[in-house]
Amino acid sequence: MYDLNVPDEIPPDAAGAPESPPYVDPADELRARLQTITPDLFVTKILVAMNVAIFLAMIAGGISPINPTIDNLIHWGADYGPRTIAHGEWWRLGMAMFLHIGIIHLAFNMFVLWQAGPFVERLLGNAGFTIVYLVSGLAGSLVSVAWNPYVVSAGASGAIFGLYGALLGFLVIHRDADLAEVLSPVKNSALIFIGYNIVFGFIRAGTDVAAHLGGLAAGFICGLAMSVPLTVEPPPRRDIRNAAVAVAAIALFIGAAVLLPRPVDVQAEMALFTTVEKNAVDTYNATVRRAQMEHLRDPQVADLIEKNVLPGWAAEHDRLARLKGLTGPPQRVVSRLLKYMEMRQQSWQMLVQSLRQHDIAGVRRAMQMQREAEQAARQAIPQNH
């Protein structure tokens, strides 16, 4: 016997009802969407290659891979106020982004760039990513040289901070729940990176916090301005936003370059002082030898010192005393230098007066003051000059 009774309810599957769509991970969906919008990633690779290539070129040129000197960095294009601003070498703002102070500095920055770069490049597109990186790096260099023009600055940190800033700017614009949930781990990682490095930068001496903050701020503003909906159809129109950001950044950089005060080139001043000092000391020693060989009288020797030695020395002292805008180590160097010059000048003036008065004790005091001045000179004049 067959049971021919029809059941009161037909199971959904038996009725051919459509099955529920399979679950799609929102993170996977976002990655697929970003890959469709920005299919090729090549800018990050190019930037890493450029940084490494320039570092290898420095090593090939004889620069220490562990501890390059300040002069080495300046020679290769590091950011340094007197050269960047006072001498108009504005190309240093860009070149400094690709120089690194040793292999550890390079390795850390390239690791972070390699980790963060691809995602931000997909988010902003190849052109947008390039603009953010360059604008942030240039802004970091500019803020650094404006904040402390006598600090030699180099490294990709400002540009890398700009990438994280752009990511945060994007997240501020796109706050929809689904996207925020997917990108929450990325946002948390960015905030941890930024917070840790800023705090560590204030604690560790030698960290260019100004460049970090300048790059971060520039990147954040770029992220706000360049963010577009992550839609595949129609594709996001990024060209106009990218062009507007690039033009605005160029205008702001030019304006800042015009308004920045021109710092004193302390290295050039030291070189000039060294020449003046050598000429003055050589002239004084030649006068003493002439007096001994020709048996000049004391008043004659006094006249020669007063005429040939003191005027140039006093003029150089007055010129250094008029230098304005010095801060930090350069100010301390010039202050010590002026003290040395004053001691030397007083010793020569005392010698002139004592010779005219035939004061042997005064001559001895003047010679003792000269020895004290020479000791002060060893403390005042940097060893590399």
Could you give the CA distance from residue 321 to residue 32 in angstroms, rounded to a whole number? 65
Q: Which of these is catalytic: 136, 153, 157, 227?
A: 157
Could you give the CA distance from residue 116 to residue 113 in angstroms, rounded to a whole number? 5
- 156 contacts: CB under 8 Å, gap ≥ 6: 47, 51, 97, 98, 100, 109, 110, 113, 137
* 121: amino acid identity, one letter: E
Is 157 considered catalytic here?
Answer: yes
Which residue in this structure is represented by tokens 């004084």? Answer: 284
Q: Which of these is catalytic: 136, 141, 212, 227?
A: 212
**Dihedral pair phi/psi, residue 153, rounded to 5°:** -120, 140
Could you give the CA distance from residue 229 to residue 269 in angstroms, rounded to a whole number? 55
* Degrees to nearest 5, angle at CA 97 with 241 and 385: 145
- Specify the long-range contacts of residues 278-281, CB closer than 8 Å, at least 24 apart: 279/312, 280/309, 280/312, 280/313
Max CA separation in the chain (angstroms): 151
SS3 284: helix
Q: Is the dihedral of CA 78, 84, 87, 90 positive or negative?
A: positive
75-100 exposure pattern, b = at least 16 Cβ within 10 A, e = fewer: ebbbbbbbbbbbeebbebbebbbbbb
* Degrees to nearest 5, angle at CA 52 with 46 and 58: 135
Annotated catalytic sites, by residue?
A: 157, 212
